[in-house]
A and B are shown apart, each in its own frame.
Chain A
Amino acid sequence: MLDVSLKHYLLVAALMFAAGVGVIISRRNAIAVLCGVELILNAAALNFVAFNRYSAPSGRLDGQVFTIFIIILAAAEAAIALAILLNLFQQTNTVDVDEADTLRE
């Protein structure tokens, strides 16, 4: 039976990161793109906690502290992004990222 090690967690985080990138590439709804960003942030936070568990000097919790900051910043980012999207919806009646191209024309 194999032992679960740091590499397994890093591979799980890499899969979640890849899924997040895939969401950002393939979705057109801006809120779904935001969900992809959340997946990527979670993958990064999982890496921090895994490194903290497997390679930090004993007794140190720096990786977990960074994860707390990531979660706080993700909350701030979600609140601001949704406020912007609400404004976009009021202006253009859509949250489709392909149609929000007023500045381009």
Chain B
Amino acid sequence: MDIDFGTIMFFALALVAVVPAFMVVLARDIVRVAFWLLASLCGVAGLYILLGADFIGLTQVLVYIGGILVLILFGIMMTSKDPLRQKAGASGQRSVVTGLVTAAIVFAVLAAVVLGVGFEEGKGRSDGSPTTTALGEALLTDYVLPFELVSVLLLFVLCGAAYMARRRREDAHA
């Protein structure tokens, strides 16, 4: 038996990424949706690291899991009255079957494209050396304009979000 360690890791991580993604469709309530999303994001972070993108994998853990998911959990806490007891009928799901059928159709089309088009596989970047230095150089040379634009965008977005989310004064009593 000569089973490559990378192959085993790929299939394990692919399962961790894909199965929770479909559990997000099937989960009963909104808190479980968030935690299945957490599992799926962890699987994708592992796939990034397996692809040799160590910096991206850690950024995924820091920004997605540490930031966006916590933000989503705060959103759930502030917007649902009884998040753990929302049954599927009341405010949970429209139709799981419709969602799954649509997902199957979308996947069929994408899989036909992926398997039908012969993507050219060059040598690529396979030495597995750390990418942080090269990424920093790329961000500050070739991609410096998008980098600055996106930082300004992030500043505006965070100011706008803070402005919109702040609690309004009660105007009725004024």
Contacts and interface: CB of A to CB of B under 8 A. Distances in A.
Interface string A7-22: 1111110111111111
Interface residues of A, number: 77
Contacts of A74: 63-64, 68
B46 to A, nearest CB: 11
Contacts of A58: 122-125
A56 to B, nearest CB: 6
Interface of A: 1-12, 14-23, 25-29, 31-32, 34-36, 38-39, 42, 45-46, 49-62, 64-65, 67-69, 71-76, 78-80, 82-87, 89-90, 94-96, 98
B51 A50 contact: yes
Nearest to B81: A93
B105 to A, nearest CB: 8
A34 B79 CA distance: 14
B172 interface: no
A69 B119 contact: no
Contacts of A9: 47, 51
